Amino acid sequence: MRVRVKIRRFNPEQDRRPYWATYTVDAEPTDRVLDLLVQIKSYQDGTLTFRRSCAHGVCGSDAVVINGRNRLACKELVQDVGRSIQIEALRGLPVIKDLVVDMEPFFRQYRSILPFLINDEPAPYDERLQSPEARARYDDTTKCILCAACTTSCPSYWASSDYVGPAAIVQAHRFIFDDRDRGAQARLAILAEGTGVWRCHTIYNCTEACPRGIQVTQAIGEVKKAITTGEIR
């Protein structure tokens, strides 16, 4: 089938503003949107720039806006998006070129919530054991691949990049509700500040955008509850 791909392109060295370029590609219904991008770059226009690494929905490199929704290009099939496909770079982050955005503001917010195990107690000889129930408590938020689809779908984040954003809160949730971790109060104090969870107005864009199906807004709600009640359950 013939597919019309419209891509929002921008080269800061040549263009004063982004423009839409249209390509026509032969594709199978079961092709992924990423296959179309690769085909365009290989056979039609070598200057097209996009990120991709594993191409199997695990590394989180190729999150883009497909027909207005934040999706991983490597997970989205042509048969699900139709014959007319519109692709643009993630919103809310500076565009470096074409579909490539500067992820540094996103990772800065990620680092601010201390995304690592904090436990100064001496570790046992082999490992810190955890029950399956305790592991299940935060299982959902361990699925995050840091693709930035949620954060860049959030109107609160578009309005103000001071907001830590859903992805950072998801990562904080992963450690706050881990019973081996001892840094929960420090993270909750960071997220209780003006740039933290209270900027979330439960718009649910993040949950809709997450390619891993994480219940992002629910995770944010659980962090809000932990901050207000002071209890981590």
Partner 1 sequence: MAMTDAVLRRERTGSKFETYMWFFTRVSGILFLLMGAFNIIYANLAGGQGNMDVGAQMRWAFFPISFHVESSAVEVTPNFSNPFWQVYSFLLLAFTATHGYNGIRVILQDYVRYPLLLAWLKALLFLLWAGLILASIFLIFVFAG
- Binding residues (CB under 8 A) for partner 1: these are 112, 114, 118, 120, 156, 159-160, 183, 186, 189-190, 192-194, 196, 198-199, 224, 227-228
Beta carbon of residue 221, minimum distance to partner 1 (angstroms, whole number) = 12
Residue 66 or 170 having the CB closest to partner 1 = 170
Residue 78 or 113 having the CB closest to partner 1 = 113
- In this structure, what DSSP letter does residue 89 have? P
> Which residue intervals of the chain are DSSP H helices?
33-39, 78-81, 104-112, 132-137, 155-159, 165-176, 184-191, 205-209, 216-229
Residue 57 or 183 having the CB closest to partner 1 = 183
Residues in the chain, total: 233
Beta carbon of residue 147, minimum distance to partner 1 (angstroms, whole number) = 24
Q: Is 85 helix (H, G, I), strand (E, B) or coil?
A: strand
Closest by Cα among 64, 148, 63, 62 to 103: 148
Beta carbon of residue 159, minimum distance to partner 1 (angstroms, whole number) = 5
Residue 11 or 115 having the CB closest to partner 1 = 115
Beta carbon of residue 205, minimum distance to partner 1 (angstroms, whole number) = 14
Are 109 and 164 spatial neighbours (Cβ–Cβ below 8 Å)? yes
Residue 59 or 158 having the CB closest to partner 1 = 158
The dihedrals phi and psi of 206, each to the nearest 5 degrees, come to -60, -45
Beta carbon of residue 64, minimum distance to partner 1 (angstroms, whole number) = 25
